[in-house]
């Protein structure tokens, strides 16, 4: 769909599983790391597209708690690459009034200098308010939920929390300010969630695209958002609409 015609229903929070870098590179006779490098422009195109559509929250999966299983060369590359990306491009995000926040565990084995840069980036962009870009790094939803449960148990033991419920647990997730996910996109044709935002995406609409992450762009984002806008979200509720039988469902 044309970029000039955003769909009527814009999701507040779009989350993206940026997948397919390795396959994109291997299909070109290149090493997997070349695919990660090519993914950088896709990320910035997606930020531009999200800004143009008026999306307030964009969360991207950059490195999972399971990605440590990859070869030492690829892990090292991804750590260095993410650090260099932050060093080189945060000014552009500040220019666009984009706040950057991180979710995921910040302890070992994440290198101290990367954690320092993560904290500096959050501080430098804290005043930006047009959109929040959250980067999930060393993130896994199970680890996040374990940490939240542990904090809640500690607070109950300390007498500062009376009971554990959905609200008190949500308040102890990595970023309690993160709204629920409206639209979850996964690229590269894989149809799984791979331990991403299990709590926050409980009622997300899922859109899978065959496009490999390095080829993702504003138009593909707009197409995914249009697919989202055409969905009927019910959140467990139901509406009796027998008139749909004779008017073809064309209710305003
Ligand atoms: C996604 O692309 C990037 C990360 C997981 C860091 P992959 O590296 O998973 O690429 P494929 O899925 O192997 O093609
Ligand atoms: C999910 O992709 C993690 C990221 C995109 C960072 P993976 O490529 O690691 O997921 P699986 O292994 O195919 O489920
Ligand atoms: Mg993958």
User: Which ligand is nearest to the Cα of residue 137, counting in written order?
Assistant: 2
**Within-domain flag for 176:** no
pLDDT, the chain, mean: 95
> Is 19 in the active site?
yes
Averaged pLDDT for residues 53-79: 98
- pLDDT band of residue 97 (cuts 50, 70, 90) is very high
Q: Which of 67, 155, 215, 219 is catalytic?
A: 67
What pLDDT score was predicted for residue 251?
46
**Within-domain flag for 208:** yes
Query: Ligand 1 atom 13: the closest Cα is on which residue?
Result: 22
Range of the domain at 134: 10-140+181-229
What pLDDT score was predicted for residue 247?
56
pLDDT in tens, 191-200: 999 999 999 9
Give me the helices (H) in 5-111, please.
21-26, 32-53, 72-95
**Within-domain flag for 155:** no
pLDDT over threshold 50, residue 6 = no
Distance of CA 209 to the CA centre of its chain: 15
**Within-domain flag for 213:** yes
What pLDDT score was predicted for residue 227?
98
Q: Whole-angstrom Cα distance, residue 171 to residue 166?
A: 9
Q: Which of 194, 208, 214 to mutate to test the pocket of ligand 2 (most atoms within 8 A of CB)?
A: 194
**Within-domain flag for 170:** no
**Ligand 1 geometric centre to CA of 176 (Å):** 27
CATH number at residue 119: 3.40.1180.10
Pocket of ligand 2 (CB under 6 A): 17-19, 61-64, 67, 190, 192, 194
Q: Which of 27, 38, 188, 194 to mutate to test the pocket of ligand 1 (most atoms within 8 A of CB)?
A: 188
Averaged pLDDT for residues 92-117: 98
**Within-domain flag for 71:** yes
> Is 67 in the active site?
yes
What pLDDT score was predicted for residue 243?
85
The pTM assigned to this predicted structure is: 0.94
Q: Which helix (H) or strand (E) holds 134?
A: strand 131-139
pLDDT in tens, 111-169: 999 999 999 999 999 999 999 999 999 999 999 999 999 999 999 999 999 999 999 99
Sign of CA dihedral 49, 53, 54, 60: negative
Averaged pLDDT for residues 19-43: 98
**Ligand 2 geometric centre to CA of 240 (Å):** 40
Looking at the 3D structure of the chain, how many domains does it have? 1
Sign of CA dihedral 185, 183, 232, 168: positive
What pLDDT score was predicted for residue 246?
61
Q: Which atom of ligand 2 is nearest to the CA of 192?
A: 14
**Within-domain flag for 5:** no
**Within-domain flag for 17:** yes
pLDDT in tens, 45-58: 999 999 999 999 99
**Ligand 1 geometric centre to CA of 237 (Å):** 37
pLDDT in tens, 183-226: 999 999 999 999 999 999 999 999 999 999 999 999 999 999 99
**Ligand 2 geometric centre to CA of 211 (Å):** 15
């Amino acid at each position: 769909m044309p970029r000039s015609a955003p769909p009527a229903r814009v999701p507040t929070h779009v989350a993206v599983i940026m997948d397919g870098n390795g396959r994109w590179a291997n299909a070109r006779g290149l090493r997997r790391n070349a695919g990660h490098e090519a993914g950088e422009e896709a990320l910035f195109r997606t930020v531009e597209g999200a800004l143009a559509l008026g999306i307030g929250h964009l969360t991207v999966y950059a490195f999972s708690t399971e990605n440590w299983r990859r070869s030492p060369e690829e892990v090292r590359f991804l750590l260095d690459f993410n650090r260099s990306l932050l060093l080189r491009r945060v000014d552009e995000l500040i220019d666009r009034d984009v706040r950057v926040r991180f979710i995921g565990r910040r302890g070992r084995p994440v290198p101290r200098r990367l954690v320092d840069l993560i904290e500096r980036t959050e501080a430098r962009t804290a005043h930006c308010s047009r959109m929040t870009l959250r980067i999930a790094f060393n993130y896994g939803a199970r680890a996040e939920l374990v940490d939240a449960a542990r904090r809640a148990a500690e607070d109950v033991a300390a007498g500062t929390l009376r009971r554990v419920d959905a609200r008190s647990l949500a308040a102890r997730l990595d970023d309690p300010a993160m709204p629920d996910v409206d639209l979850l996109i996964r690229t590269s044709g894989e149809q799984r969630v791979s331990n991403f935002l299990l709590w926050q995406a409980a009622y997300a609409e899922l859109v899978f695209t065959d496009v490999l992450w390095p080829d993702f762009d504003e138009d593909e984002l707009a197409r995914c958002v249009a697919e989202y806008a055409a969905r009927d979200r019910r959140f467990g509720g139901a509406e009796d609409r027998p008139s749909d039988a004779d008017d073809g469902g064309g209710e305003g």
